[in-house]
Chain A
Amino acid sequence: MYKAFLLKYGEIGVKGKNRHLFEDALVRDIERVLRRVEGDFKVSKESGRIFAVAGSDFDYDEAIGALSKVFGLVWICPVVQIEDKGFKDLSANVIEYIDKAYPDKNFTFKVDARRARKDYELNSMQINEELGHDLLERFPEMKVDVHDPDVLISVEVRNMINIYSKAIRGPGGMPTGTAGSAMLLLSGGIDSPVAGYMIAKRGVKISAVYFHAPPYTSERAKQKVVDLARIVSSYCGEIELNIIDFTEIQLEIYKQCPHDEMTIIMRRVMMRIAQELADESGCMGLITGESIGQVASQTMHGLYCTNAVCKMPVYRPLIAFDKQDIVSMAEKIGTYETSIQPFEDCCTIFVAKHPVTKPRLNVIEKHEKALEKVLDDMVAKAIENVEKVICDG
């Protein structure tokens, strides 16, 4: 019965003169996700709201699923659209709609009519009254409550007449790319995809980097990261994933540096590489899945030492999240199942049995001197040999 979706956005509404840019981006994102849904849709802007109108039959659940991934949308309202054939016809349609949409009629309601066309036969108040009357007559179990109704039945008289009463929550946030771009350090774990999702939700276009260490990590571990990037991209659009072969650097650190500091030093090198890749691709920041105290390298001391190599802002949206909360989010956005596939465990040899939890920057820097002669070349080589994979879910 639904022929269209009325799509409401939140924050964009306050964007002033730039508003059309945000709206256009949102329309593009909506078009992108609907392209994958069975059915033809036309997306248009219409006085402060966006409509997606189906030109054919379509899969309702699939369409809702796709739309609820569009950052910037706050409400998704399935709409019944009818032509104006007089009030009688409208009333019959509203009754039919309510009958189908609510099998149990035991609820309170209010009709909220609006006219964009002032030449309609009744004014808004009259539509409210007449429709309320007709509904009560047809479904005596229903009751009117104008202050706090269970169901708000909206009727909008435009060129077509829109009838809707249901609203499904969208993810909120801002349309993709409207806030610039950033480089996500993506591992195969649970946290980093969630971190990427959260920043992307604020309208940031995401690129990603993964550090691959064959033969210590397997091809399947790499595939898993590609799969994760793909899931995240199903929300925020195409992600360019940079795969860096990190083995040589890792082995060098292993040979030259104290083992309890390996993870910190490794992370510092990863940040350096990520930063260079970010610069190359016009990203304005890095994103990590770090969370205070989660592992030895993520104490305040650890974060201090890691952060010291960064010249651009590092966004850590999970910094104050408990693990269980991160897991819940990962489950919600659909990355958890993929994250827990056990493919990355063979690189554990590079994790010290007793890693330092309170590293000191001057000590780390001193120990890093052992790498001085070769590290620049190794980093340059790793970046030169980067493998780029476009992930588009």
Chain B
Amino acid sequence: MREIYLDNAATTKTEPEVVEIMNKVMLEDFGNPSSKHKKGVEAEKYVRNAAEIISGIMKTSAKEIVFTSGATESNNMAIFGTVQKRKRYGDHIITSAIEHASVREPFLELEKQGYRVTFVETDNNGVINMDALKAALDDKTILVSIMHVNNETGVIQPLEDIGSTVKSFNKDIIFHVDAVQSFGKLPVRPKKYQADLLSVSAHKFHGPKGAGFLYIKDGTGIEPFIYGGGQQNKMRSGTENTPGIAGLGKASEIAYSDETQMKIQHLSDIRTDFIKSLESIEGVRVNSTASDIFAPHVVSATFKGLRSEVLLHSLEEEGIYISSGSACSSNRPGLSFALSALGLNKTEVESTVRFSFSKYTTEDELKVCIEVLKEKVPFLRQFIRR
């Protein structure tokens, strides 16, 4: 059966070259990077190589990369690690109202522990309100965590402005960026944003699941999150996931190759066409139109009078895979801060789906998707709750 995968913000298909290198690491170069013999040295090379590839892309230094199990670990490590280290300087931490659960939940946990938490509001596109951010900063603020690209709407935050706002207020405030949805699609430059910490996950750009990293700017003091054998400069103990790390390195290299970046450029164009076609269907509103503040791979659309899950399952019957809200929160109806920030009410949120693309997404696939929608939507609309 035909398969059109438009849920790339949830996860992506693993790149064959990534699988190949991971296979090699598992079958041949399976040593423990901490071993003193040749097998260990070989394995360590993969780790070093991946760190070099990534730091080359982000224009940072290889020693600033700490490999983790993925985004949730990176975000938790950044947030709890910062607070643990810097609690004597203050008790105030700031994030936005539209963060992914792996940032929001640690903040809520810290709030329970007695920290003051400010969730900064956004404008009606979902962009951080700079005045609100400025107003939130105080002399006890120790951490600001803001995502680069939102997973539900694709809205891009002006990280340079945010970074300079935070750092000009007080350069000791730690600035963390969740770059999970942007890495691989947009340029990611922690130094430009004056970010101290930045999280990335491999499986969002054709790498393996269970691998990611946290960029920790040289000299940034955060407490480790996991203790043990002292691997990765004691920042993240535990034998390195060498196949995952090698896969992450390879996926990063491919993601920022000229060829891939061309395809992603092209995505912007086909996204624009797709949005136009969507809007031509009656009762459909696209929530993420402006191409300058929305990432090229996410389209959020509200289908008036339809429940998102029904639409999702009926596209599924045609081999088309989309998402109703963010995959991680779709089991908890009513929880969509990013969509609420766009001014959608509860019913509209429940009628909103996300199409997300990858470099493999073709114009033809999107055309088919539009045709199927044109056929299905009027049929499904006959059946609404009365």
- What is the interface of chain A, defined by CB distance below 8 A to chain B? 214-219, 251, 254-255, 259, 341-343, 345-346, 348-353
Contacts and interface: CB of A to CB of B under 8 A. Distances in A.
Contact of A214 (B311, B313, B383, B385): B313
Contacts of A352: 385-386
17 contacts: A215-B313, A215-B314, A215-B316, A215-B317, A216-B310, A216-B313, A218-B309, A219-B313, A254-B383, A255-B382, A345-B309, A348-B385, A349-B307, A349-B383, A349-B385, A352-B386, A353-B385
B385 A346 contact: no
A351 B385 contact: yes
B309 A346 contact: yes
B347 to A, nearest CB: 12
A220 to B, nearest CB: 9
B333 A214 contact: no
B331 A349 contact: no
B48 to A, nearest CB: 42
- The interface residues of chain B, by DSSP majority, are classed as loop
A349 B347 CA distance: 13
A214 B317 contact: yes
Report, nearest first, the 6 A-B pairs whose CB atoms are least far apart: A215-B313, A215-B314, A346-B309, A349-B385, A259-B386, A346-B310
Contact of A349 (B313, B314, B384): B384
Contacts of A259: 386
Contacts of A216: 310, 313
Given A215-B310, A346-B307, A251 B383 contact: yes
A166 to B, nearest CB: 43
B306 to A, nearest CB: 9
B313 A346 contact: yes
Contacts of A350: 383, 385
Contacts of B310: 215-216, 346, 349
Given A215-B310, A215-B314, A345 B386 contact: no
B312 interface: yes
A255 B312 CA distance: 22
Interface in B292-332: 307, 309-314, 316-317, 331-332
B386 A342 contact: no
Interface residues of B, number: 17
Interface of B: 307, 309-314, 316-317, 331-333, 382-386
Contacts of B316: 215
Contacts of A346: 307, 309-310, 313
A214 B317 CA distance: 9
Nearest to A352: B386
Nearest to B309: A346
A247 B54 CA distance: 50
A387 to B, nearest CB: 16
Nearest to A260: B386
Nearest to B331: A342
A218 B313 contact: yes
A135 B127 CA distance: 80
B386 A353 contact: yes
A214 B314 CA distance: 7
Nearest to A341: B331
Contacts of A251: 383
Nearest to B314: A215
A108 B280 CA distance: 84
Contacts of B312: 215
A250 to B, nearest CB: 9
A289 B212 CA distance: 48
A214 B316 CA distance: 10
B247 to A, nearest CB: 29
Nearest to A348: B385
Contacts of B384: 349
A351 B313 CA distance: 19
A242 B384 CA distance: 28
A245 to B, nearest CB: 12
Contacts of B311: 215
Contact of B333 (A341, A345, A349, A353): A345
Given A251-B383, A349-B307, A349-B310, 20 more contacts: A215-B314, A215-B316, A215-B317, A216-B310, A217-B313, A218-B309, A218-B313, A254-B383, A259-B386, A342-B332, A342-B333, A345-B333, A346-B307, A348-B307, A349-B383, A349-B384, A349-B385, A352-B385, A352-B386, A353-B385
B248 to A, nearest CB: 30
A341 B311 CA distance: 20
B360 to A, nearest CB: 24
A346 B311 CA distance: 10
Contacts of A254: 382-383
